[in-house]
Amino acid sequence: MWWSTSLSERPVGTPRTGTGEAEQQPGFDQTEALLLELDLSPVAGIWSDAVQTVGIVRSAAGLFVGWLDVGWLTPEDPFSEMRDVAHIVERVPLDQLERDLRFAISEAENVRADHLRECERCCEHFVPGQMYGAACCHSCAVRDGDIAC
Ligand SMILES: [Zn+2]
């Protein structure tokens, strides 16, 4: 019929706002796309920035955001330990999720900065888990023989 062609040519499922067809695909993960957009990538289950300052863990209950300290299973086995964790509900509109995430990341960065300690030997700043003593970092302690290797 004369009208059938125009109907079949009409795109199905085209977003009204035109913000990208990818969001319409089944199984497309908006949260993952957002985390990637924020320059985060997953390492051993924790999404983090390149220099490992903040961590984000996804779960069925939402997102958990904290700053990353270093924990030690043994003196040779460090792991990333999240501190001062905030909970973010994931099932909110994407723009609100982005605002919530950016705020939580910024807060985590600020709290981490408050916890940094200065090494009296190399004058660098470290998270508590990277310190050997109150005023000495692990690297300096190893270099100076405080820690037997
Ligand atoms: Zn040091």
Question: How many C-beta atoms lie closer than 10 Å to residue 104's C-beta?
Answer: 20
C-alpha 138 to ligand 1 mean position (Å):
7
Cβ 71 vs Cβ 78: under 8 Å: yes
Cα of 135 vs centre of ligand 1, distance in Å, is 8
pTM greater than 0.75 (yes/no): yes
Each residue of 10-64: pLDDT tens digit?
A: 444 444 454 545 455 667 799 999 999 999 999 989 999 999 999 999 999 999 9
Cβ–Cβ < 8 Å for 23, 30: yes
- Cα gap 97→59, rounded to integer Å: 15
144 C-alpha to center of ligand 1: Å? 10
**Would you call 29 helix, strand, or coil by DSSP?**
coil
Q: What are the start-end ranges of the H helices in 1-149?
A: 4-9, 30-37, 94-115, 138-143
Report how far ligand 1's centroid is from the alpha carbon of 140 (Å).
4
Q: What is the CA(108)–ligand 1 centre distance, in A? A: 24
**What mean pLDDT, rounded, does the chain reach?**
86
